[in-house]
Structure 1
Amino acid sequence: MADDRIDLVIFDCDGVLVDSERLAVRVDALMLAELGWPLTEAEIVERFVGRSHRDLTAAIEQQLGRPLPEGWYDRYRPWYRSAFEAELTAVDGIIEALGLITLPSCVASSNTHPGLRHSLGLTGLYSRFEGRIFSASEVEHGKPAPDLFLHAARALGADPARCVVVEDSRFGVEAARAAGMRAFGYYGGLTPRAWLEGPGTVVFDEMRDLPELLLGGF
């Protein structure tokens, strides 16, 4: 498929390409409880899904009223890796959708580059996007700020007004709107549909429908 109105399709990773958020939130709850900030999985989804590791760290430090020690996350990284290696899959229908989308595309995620290599590698998707993967660690402000999406568009020579973003978090669709990009909000995961609805956004719950939705535009 192609649409000459679109210069670039920007995919979020977690919850859009890889079905990682259920696993990550489960481990988040264990980690936060051990750190002294017990939250329910629903609270974690509302506060943190779609945000960067830097934002998570800042929130924990604010809640605890003290800085976390250097390398604090090293203890917990293996928890996530083990969960992902045991259970991570691609989002249902995304392989079929990607097979039909011939538009230029990239990944722009709140995850780190090592995390992206790991999760996309486990699901066989890394080679589809290699060289076109952008992390919030590359910009000053993560989602819901527009920085990451604008950075990806600039790096690939795309006009932001002719970019579309495929997201599954409210922070992600807010970032797309702030960047002046159209958004496709996928609510087939943890985020309720109502959190994604808004101006310049099409919401959908079946990833196999994405190629046709891109052709339909707004």
Structure 2
Amino acid sequence: MTPKTIECVIFDCDGTLVDSEILCNQGLVNVFTRYRALITLEECLTKYKGGKMVEILTAICGDHHLSLNLAELEKEYREELRQLFDKYLTPVNGVPLMLEKIQMPICVASNGPASKMEHTLGLTGLLPRFEGKLFSAFDANCWKPDPGLLAYAAKGMGVNLGKCVLVEDSVPGVMAGINAGIPVFHYCRDEHSEPVNHPLVTRFANMEALPSLLLQAD
């Protein structure tokens, strides 16, 4: 694949465009502390990053022997997250400048609901770049690492999935790209980022470097 044949750059949202990973996991700590579960931020970052929300909540309940209504628990968690985002959310460092430099079509494909993407991208000033280009697993009924979400996004953009590239920070997201057979740019910025060694995966740690990496894509 060359820059001229890339028809779309598909971005993940949380941890890739918006600096939400610490806040998302702090939200889990805050909520489960109310139920006397001794869960730490480090544990959340290590064990529960990038998965489907209901599966994360189920896993934590199982690990801490809690019997809770998952629908009510998810509602409580999303409200906790909304409050944390309103106070503390920022773009991932380097993202605004990176987006200014990318001339290719772009979109977002996230395991989260569209309303969450609209909220977080709106808070960080990134939403205008992605208006009408937000694709949620809840609408596709496919969650990463299933590549179906990426196919759904490509179809929504009117492009061939085989001519897309993916920018991701989580292992499930990277696996979705590998399962789709497309190049993946894996954003790994700290010790919580688990590297994925695969011919389709390019690892990078600075968002401002992404435009140059796309120009070197093959």
Correspondences of 1:14-29 after superposition (within 5 Å): 14-29=14-29
In structure 2, C-alpha distance between the alignment counterparts of 1:110 and 1:27, rounded to whole Å: 17
* Equivalent residue runs for 1:104-119 within 5 Å: 104-119=105-120
Q: TM-score, normalised by structure 2?
A: 0.89
Taking only the aligned residue pairs, the percentage that are identical comes to 35
The equivalent of 2:195 in structure 1 is: 195
- Name 1:42's counterpart in structure 2: 42
Query: For residues 120-131 of structure 1, what are the structure 2 equivalents within 5 Å?
Result: 120-131=121-132
In structure 2, relative to structure 1, the CA distance for the partners of 1:72 and 1:189 (3 Å cut) is same
Contact 1:184 1:201 in 2 (8 A): yes
Do the aligned partners of 2:57 and 2:74 also contact (CA within 8 Å) in 1? no
Number of matched pairs = 216
Matched, 1:183 2:184: yes
Give the aligned residue type for 1:52. K
Aligned to 2:146: 145
Equivalent in the alignment of 1:77: 78
Identify if the C-alpha distance between structure 1 residues 172 and 191 changes in structure 2 by more than 3 Å, giving closer, same or farther: farther
> Any stretches of 5+ residues in structure 2 without a counterpart?
none
Q: For each residue in 1:22-64, what CA deviation from the matched residue of structure 2 results, as whole angstroms up to 9, or x when unmatched?
A: 1111121222333464333233223322122233244346554
**In the aligned structure 1, how far is the partner of 2:76 from the partner of 2:174?**
32
Distance in 1 between residues matched to 2:4 and 2:207, nearest whole Å:
22
Q: Specify the alignment match of 2:210 in structure 1.
A: 210
Secondary structure of the residue that 1:75 maps to in structure 2? helix
Q: Which residue of 2 aligns with 1:54?
A: 54
**What root-mean-square deviation, in Å, do the aligned CA atoms of Structure 1 and Structure 2 show?**
2.1
Structure 1 distance, partners of 2:147, 2:52, is 13
Alignment of 1:59-70 (within 5 A): 59-60=59-60, 62-63=62-63, 64=65, 66=67, 68=69, 70=71
- 1:86 matched residue in structure 2: 87
**Distance in 1, Cα, partners of 2:66 & 2:23:** 28
CA shift at 1:83, angstroms?
Answer: 1.3
8 Å contact kept, 1:17–1:94: yes
Deviation string for 1:84-138 (max 9, x for gaps)? Answer: 1111111111111100101011000111111111110000111110101011112
Deviation at 1:164, TM superposition (A): 0.4
Contact 1:169/1:196, CA 8 A, preserved across alignment: no
- Residue segments in structure 1 that go unaligned for 5+ positions in a row: none
SS at match of 2:195: helix
